[in-house]
Amino acid sequence: MGRCRGDNAGSEKFTTISNPVIVLSFIRYTAVGGIATLVHYIVLVVLVEYAGMNPPIAAALGAACGALAGYVGNRRFTFLSDAPHRRALPRYLLVAAGGALANGTIVWMGTELFRWHYLPAQVLATALILVAGFALNRTWTFA
């Protein structure tokens, strides 16, 4: 079975957020997410502006490239995982799909039920999904 060498995810003494190794992993996770988002946007813009592609298709391809960048970055840099790709990649994609669904649900709840402006709802969704995604990827996807 694979494991996260970066923070000993399975060990009880490494489950607290006050652990500097976990804090460093979270910072790395956030940085990898930023880079993956940048990859998504670069692919989107290049395909639309230079290749003349339809924006929704370009956005989907950009998201796929960003997801791949996130998977590779988190596997190699954030979690230092040796989990087999045949197990880790489907789990990573499931966590990402769940995050996308949760994002839409939280923004819908914020705007429709609580009548918030969409941006505060999105900020809340982003914060919650960032923490949940980190926890799931650390303890399940790359463990």
Structural domain boundaries of the chain? 18-80, 83-143
Give pLDDT tens digits for 83-122: 999 999 999 999 999 999 999 999 999 999 999 999 999 9
Q: Are 142 and 79 in contact (CB under 8 A)?
A: yes
Half-sphere exposure of 16 (CA within 13 A, CB side): 4
Q: Which two tokens stand for residue 80?
A: 């230092």
pLDDT at 26: 97
Q: Are 7 and 138 in contact (CB under 8 A)?
A: yes
Closest CA to 73 of 34, 26, 32, 30: 32
Confidence of residue 13 (pLDDT cuts 50, 70, 90): very low
Closest CA to 75 of 12, 3, 24: 3
Closest CA to 26 of 34, 15, 39, 17: 17
pLDDT at 6: 55
Question: What pTM was estimated for this model as a whole?
Answer: 0.86
pLDDT at 130: 96
Lowest-confidence segment of 11-25, 90-104, 129-143 by average pLDDT: 11-25
pLDDT at 73 > cutoff 70:
yes
Return the percentage of the chain with pLDDT > 70, whole number: 88
pLDDT at 23: 95
